[in-house]
Every structure is written in structure tokens, then in C-alpha cells.
Structure 1
Amino acid sequence: MRDPRALYELDEAIEVPTGLPLVAGLTGFADAGGAVAQTIESLRSTLEHTVVASFDADVLFDYRARRPIIVFDGDHLTDYRPPRLALELARDELGRPFLLLSGYEPDFRWEGFCAAVLQLVERFEVSSLSWINSIPMPVPHTRPLGVTVSGNREELVEAMSVWRPTTQVPANAMHLVEYRLQEAGLPVAGFVLLVPHYLGDTEYPAAAVAALEAISSGTGRIFATDALREQGREFVVRIDEQVAENGELGKLVRTLEQRYDAYMEGTSLRSPLTDEDGEVPTADEIAAELEKFLAFRRGTDDEPPHPV
């Protein structure tokens, strides 16, 4: 394997305390409800942070698959926003430090990227990894947002993981990082937010709040959530109005509520995601429901809850 040190530029002048927890969230795949994007934006906009290491986008990023943004102003270009993937030293609301890995998910060199992360973990004697991901699931927005926890921190799995399937899923780069760090014996926890599928293509503030709460559980760090909670309350009001006006959507939400409640009460239902025959809705069925919801949203005169 090529030297993973070639994949990133390290700022040797930054003094990084050893033994800090690492928090990670990468965008680019299955970010249902915009949970990862909103969480990272909240952390970077409210907390002090300094770049420790920057990864080489020309090696890791597929520019033609995910076009960077450039601004055209009348007759000339004024701003270019290059893809960004970096490790930062940040401080929580109480001033306690932690490391934050955020930005795009690498398109290439996953093993090299993973080796680079492990190299940085070893260099700074990282104490644990807590990372976030989100997927669309047939659950109602009227109930607490659930989390599935992976990794080797059994106390977090037992306390927080509401759904523990045995299945095959498309991997992302952080899955590989978790897998390698778990092999190395580092405490790791991956938090997968289970976002209502009919809200999967929106920015759902409650998902970001749940993500920040999960990170707090994994790291002991404290983060501000007041702004996101207020956005979430406004979002839910608009969603509830649309549910009340659309009989088909209302029926869907009530059905999901019944399944969720039965599951949480410990009935014979194996999962809140199954129908009355015990079958999990297919991806096509979930997508069809989402399309109906989005079509209704586009057809209403009201302002949409959030831009898609």
C-alpha cells in the first residue's frame, strides 16, 4: 500500500492534546433528513475549530460525479468552493476539546483513506470514535427518532439501539473506518439515525438534534441544540398541517404510529417497520410513498417545510 501520509497535509504547528474523542460525519451517501450535513454545519458554525489535517481532494474526490460549486456573477466568476475533507480540533460548549472529521466521503482510495485515519488516530492517541449516519425508514415523525448503534461499545448499544437487524447494507467509507478501528481495539460507536422515509429528502432538524445527542452520549461533550430544536418545532407544525390536509398521508402516518407503538410495547412484532403480515416494505414501496408526499408538497400553495 502507498504511504497514507501522502493523502493529507498535517499542520505541525497545531498543538493537539492526546487522548481526545474523535467525532466523524461524512456527506455524500444516504444522508436521510440531512442529518449529517445539518449536524456538521451546527458544530462548525457554533464551536471554535482549527484545521489539523486536510485531505487531498484531487486524489480522493470524483469531481465529475459531484460537481463543486462555482459562482458566476454577471460576466465573471467570483467564488469557487472546493470539496473539503478535514480533521479539526474543536471545543464543545464547555470548552472541552475533541477531534472532528468532516467533509465529503472519499470516492477513491478507501483503504488508503482508512489507513490515513488510523495513522492520525495513533498519532494523537484518540480515545474513541463516534460517527453519525442516517437512513430513511418507515417510521412516523410523531414519535421519538430512533437510533441503531454499531460498534463495540456495548453500553451504548444496550442503552440506545432500538433496532438491531442482521442484514447486508451498502457500505460507506466510515463503515470501513469503524471496522478497522474495531479490529485495532479502539472503542467505536456508529450512530445510524432512523429518519421517517417521507421526510428523507428534506432537511429534518430533529434528525440533527438526535445526532448531537448521540454524539454527546458517545463523547461526553456538550453541544448547543436550541436553534435546531426551534427549527424542528416549526418544521413539525408545517408537516402536521399537511398531514391533516391529505387523507392518504394521514393514513400512512397513523399506520406507522400503530406499528411503532406495538413494537415499543414489546409485542410479537419484530420491528416497527413491518406491516400486518410481518413483511418489511420494499425500497420501491418506500420510494413510492416518498414520491406521493413530495408531489403533494409541490402542489400546495404553502411554503414547503424546507427546500429539497
Structure 2
Amino acid sequence: MDPSTVFTYERHIDARTLRGSTLVVTLGAFTDAGAAQHLLDTHILELLDSRIIGRVDMDQVYDYTGHRPEITLDRDHFEDYEKPEILLHEVVAADGEPFFLLTGPEPSFQWERLASALRHVIEQLGVERTLLVQSFPAPVPHTRELPITRYGGASEDIMFPRPMPAVFRLRSTFTSVLTLRLHESGHPVVGLAAQVPQYLHETEYPVAALALLRAVREEGGPEIAPGELEVIARAVREGIDAQVAGNDQLQEMVRSLEENADRFQLADAAEAEVPSAEEIAAEVEQFLAGLDEGDQGPSEESHG
């Protein structure tokens, strides 16, 4: 089936006139922990000038019965149907430079076909860098800086590496497949996943959206002012602190998470220490010796 028929530009849009160096993707995955993607989409589209330039044919890629959209029955008639949509927006950043934003739920079907269609769109629009933005619940405290896990098609695509501590075998998401396919086609792609405190993942947590905004900029994306998000995040943090202060069990849980977070931070700092010239030379010699012996070294793997 022709991949180009799963995505179409709006009737008034001439794709030949569009150009932008960055595509930000906020498609859904397993969960939108802390509503980070929703908050990010809302913030960008309310703060900056934008327009819808294209959309995915949802009847081809979405499982309506598996993810039933809501609709209102007003006495004797239906209204307010929440139609699921995957939309491509052109957004103008504060510096006047356009970028693109792809929003919507995770597609249920035809992942490979849709990935091919999006690769074609990226090439049409002259996109030089794709940033995939997500969030997931993690055993981290709200009292520490929110971690952002970064991944990519290739390690060299990531400007600020923060890899996972081991190898994990996971159930895939569409954005995982998109990462692979874009990399195979020679397109730089970086994923940014905010680690939201697991005890807060079902509530709106604007701290996560703010952290993702900063990470987007760090990874070569547009600079987007935090605006009202900072005010909201401050109020949410104060409310959380007040709840924890009034509950001994919550205080103990947060202390335990803080201890774990501090241990990881110390471990990261130790790994980040610059080695001496002698240590570098010794590592090079060991590496070359391993090549001669056909030994690729030990690997660490865990399943989750």
C-alpha cells in the first residue's frame, strides 16, 4: 500500500513553500505520565502562532474500539464527539523561525507504513532533526531535578547523553519504530523521556513539561519560553510539599527515593571524571588487544 495516502496536507497548503529545521513529535505511547505531553502541546500552541498543515487518516491507523473516544449524550442527541486526530502543525518560534509539531494519540495499526509516510514528509519539509518527546513514571522524588532519559538512532546524534544504566528488553511503541526507521534513512533523531515521580504520574505535573522544554532546546530544537508553566509548576510543587509534610508515610517514601537518587547522581559524577593520559592509553591498549582476540568485551543486560 502506498505510504503517501496515509498522510495528507490540508487543501490550502503547498508543501513546496514549507521549510523548518526541526520536527517535535509528541505522539502518545504507553502513558502520558504527569500529562507532560498534553501540557507541552497546549503550552506551545497557545503561546506561539501556529496552523495545521496536515493530518493522518485515522481510519487507517487507529483502533477506535480499543480506545473509544468520548461523546456526550445530551438528553436525546449526541454532541461534542472527541475525534482522535494526529495533526502536523507549523509553529513559529519567538525568533521567527518555523518548526513543526506532530501531535495526537499513538497509532494502533500500520506502523511501518506510517513511519515511511512521515519520513517522506520530513524529507519534503527539509527537517534536519527530529525530537521525540515523552514521559513515563519512574521511582524518582519530586524534590530532585527531574531526570530526562535521552536516546537516539545513533549515540552521536545526542548532544547531552544520558543513557539508561543497562540494556532493557521492552514492548515497543510507535515512536521507537519511528526512531529506527528515520535513523536507517539517515535522518538524525533524538528521543527525550521525562521521568515523572511514580506517585504523581496520574496527575498533571508541569515540572515535567518544563524539563522537556529545556531538553528540546539542549538537543538543538527551538527555544520556547516557559511562560505560565513556571507559575503553575511552582504552585503544584507547593501543594505537593504541603501534602507530604502532613503525612509521615509519604515523608518516608520521599526520603527513600531521595537516597536512591543521590546514589545514582554520585555514580554518574564518578563516571564523568576525566581520566588521566595514562588511563586513556591503557584503555586504548586494552581495546586494541580485544580486537586482536576477537573479544567485544562483557555486556550487561536486564529484562524489564
Q: How does 1:217-256 map to 2 (within 5 A)?
A: 217-256=218-257
CA deviation map 1:76-131 (0-9, x unaligned) = 32322211101121111222100111111101111111111111112222111001
- Does residue 188 of the first structure (1) align with residue 189 of the second (2)? yes
Aligned match of 2:120: 119
- Secondary structure at the residue paired with 1:224? coil
Aligned match of 2:166: 165
Structure 2 counterpart of 1:194, one-letter code: Q
CA deviation map 1:269-290 (0-9, x unaligned) = 99xxxxxxxxxxx99xxxxxxx
Aligned match of 2:62: 61
- Does residue 213 of the first structure (1) align with residue 218 of the second (2)? no
CA deviation map 1:152-199 (0-9, x unaligned) = 464674625164431112211111111111111211110011111111
Whole-angstrom CA distance in 1 between matches of 2:203 and 2:196: 10
Q: How does 1:258-297 map to 2 (within 5 A)?
A: 258-266=259-267
Whole-angstrom CA distance in 2 between matches of 1:193 and 1:29: 13
Residue 37 of structure 1: how far off its partner (Å) = 1.5
Q: How many equivalent residue pairs?
A: 271
Aligned match of 1:128: 129
Change (3 A) 1:267 1:78: closer
Answer whether contact 1:88 1:99 (CA < 8 A) is retained: yes
Whole-angstrom CA distance in 2 between matches of 1:77 and 1:128: 42
Aligned match of 1:297: none
Aligned match of 2:34: 33
- Does residue 7 of the first structure (1) align with residue 6 of the second (2)? yes
Change (3 A) 1:28 1:163: closer
Whole-angstrom CA distance in 1 between matches of 2:260 and 2:32: 24
Whole-angstrom CA distance in 1 between matches of 2:41 and 2:227: 15
Whole-angstrom CA distance in 2 between matches of 1:220 and 1:84: 24
Structure 2: tracts of 5 or more residues without a match:
272-302
TM-score (norm 1): 0.81
TM-score (norm 2): 0.82
Structure possessing the higher radius of gyration over alpha carbons: 2
Aligned match of 2:202: 201
Whole-angstrom CA distance in 2 between matches of 1:123 and 1:268: 42
Whole-angstrom CA distance in 2 between matches of 1:160 and 1:252: 29
CA deviation map 1:37-94 (0-9, x unaligned) = 2111211222222222211111111111112222333443232221110112111122
Change (3 A) 1:245 1:192: same
- Does residue 21 of the first structure (1) align with residue 22 of the second (2)? yes
Whole-angstrom CA distance in 2 between matches of 1:89 and 1:267: 38
- Secondary structure at the residue paired with 1:195? strand
Whole-angstrom CA distance in 1 between matches of 2:268 and 2:110: 45
Structure 1: tracts of 5 or more residues without a match:
271-281, 284-308
Change (3 A) 1:74 1:135: same
- Secondary structure at the residue paired with 1:80? coil
Structure 2 counterpart of 1:178, one-letter code: T
- Secondary structure at the residue paired with 1:69? coil
CA deviation map 1:177-225 (0-9, x unaligned) = 1111111121111001111111111111101111111112223412121
Change (3 A) 1:252 1:69: same
Over the residues paired in the alignment, what is the CA RMSD in angstroms? Answer: 2.3
Structure 2 counterpart of 1:26, one-letter code: L
